[in-house]
Structure 1
Amino acid sequence: MSPSVMYRTVARAEAVTWTLLIIAMILKYGVKVGDWPVSVAGFIHGFVFLSYVVMSILVGMNQRWSKRLIVGAAATSVIPYLTIPFDKWLEKNGKLVGDWRTAASDHPGDRKWTDATMRWLVARPVLTAALLFVAIVAVFSTMLFLGPPGGRS
């Protein structure tokens, strides 16, 4: 799967989970069905949110985006549905062109340890997916332990 397809897939999933979360909040506060819809949708959205942030970093490094653009990409997940127009902007501006970089080139950035690590990870997609999954679960579990934004009621 190319960087553009992977990024686009996670960006769309992030937007879909925003929809689930908004529907859940309507059910909780408008229809008064209890907390369970927000618990379920919030869980799914939180996991996909973290996955999108990780994907923004990985694809951004692969595509040699500036640090500012990588942070901006990750930040689009905070505003509902912003990942979709941002993805279209990236595509329009050629920021998602190319395959995964698995070998060093003559580019000066390829001499950095961060690029070498990224290439090593990209060359091992199954291991990378497992490592990223474990990292996301660890962050997600920590966030669940700390409690929801705004505290527990």
Structure 2
Amino acid sequence: MSPRALFRSVAFAEAVTWTLLLIALFLKYGLQTAPLATTIAGGLHGFVFLCYVASTCFTWVNQKWTTGTGLLAVASAVVPYATIPVEKSLDRRGLLDGGWRLADGGDEPRGLLEKLQAWVLRKPATAVVVALVAVAAVFSFLLFLGPPDAWFA
């Protein structure tokens, strides 16, 4: 899977989970029904949000985006549906072109982030397991904290 395909897929998934969450919120607060829907949609959206942030950072390192571009791409997940126009803009500007430059035979990694990315690209099965465990750990911790509106109550 290319950087473009990864970023596009997860940006789209982020938008889909926004839709599910907004529907669930409408059911809960607009129609006063289905409170469980927000728990399920919120959990799913939170998981995909974390995956989006991780894949965006991974793409950011590979594509050598500027800090502003990378932060904009990450921040777009906070605004409903913003990942789609950001993805379209990055693609139109050629910032999603090419393959994984640090894969076998590619560029020599420089710095900690590039060395980590090179390891992930060279050992994808191990990296997927490590990433899933890491995302699940963060997700579990966030579930433990509860909904964001309860964090400061």
TM-score normalised per structure 2: 0.91
How far residue 35 of structure 1 moved from its aligned partner, in angstroms, is: 1.6
How far residue 122 of structure 1 moved from its aligned partner, in angstroms, is: 1.4
Amino acid at match of 2:25: M
- Paired position in structure 1 for 2:78: 78
- Paired position in structure 1 for 2:118: 119
3-state SS of paired residue (1:150): helix
The residue correspondences of 1:1-20 to structure 2 (distance < 5 A) are 1-20=1-20
Q: 1:105 aligns with which of 86, 104, 107?
A: 107
User: Structure 1 runs of 4+ off > 6 angstroms?
Assistant: none
Amino acid at match of 1:35: P
What CA deviation, in whole Å up to 9, does each residue of 1:74-122 have, x standing for no partner? 110000000000000010111101111214537xxx3223212211111
**Identity within the alignment, %:** 43
The alignment status of 1:42 with 2:42, answered yes or no, reads: yes
Q: Tell me, which stretches of 5 or more residues in structure 2 are unaligned? A: none
- Paired position in structure 1 for 2:92: 92
3-state SS of paired residue (2:98): coil
- Paired position in structure 2 for 1:132: 131
How far residue 33 of structure 1 moved from its aligned partner, in angstroms, is: 1.1
Name the CA distance, whole Å, in 2 between partners of 1:114 and 1:13: 25
Amino acid at match of 1:115: E
- Paired position in structure 2 for 1:51: 51
How far residue 42 of structure 1 moved from its aligned partner, in angstroms, is: 0.3
Question: Which sits farther off after the overlay, 124-133 or 48-57?
Answer: 124-133
Q: Is 2:21–2:38's contact at 8 Å kept on the other side of the alignment?
A: yes
Name the CA distance, whole Å, in 2 between partners of 1:75 and 1:67: 12
Q: Tell me, which stretches of 5 or more residues in structure 1 are unaligned? A: none
How far residue 52 of structure 1 moved from its aligned partner, in angstroms, is: 0.1
Name the CA distance, whole Å, in 1 between partners of 2:111 and 2:123: 19
TM-score normalised per structure 1: 0.91
Question: Which sits farther off after the overlay, 49-58 or 68-77?
Answer: 68-77
Q: Is 2:3–2:98's contact at 8 Å kept on the other side of the alignment?
A: yes
How far residue 54 of structure 1 moved from its aligned partner, in angstroms, is: 0.3
Question: Which sits farther off after the overlay, 70-79 or 15-24?
Answer: 70-79
Q: Is 2:24–2:34's contact at 8 Å kept on the other side of the alignment?
A: no
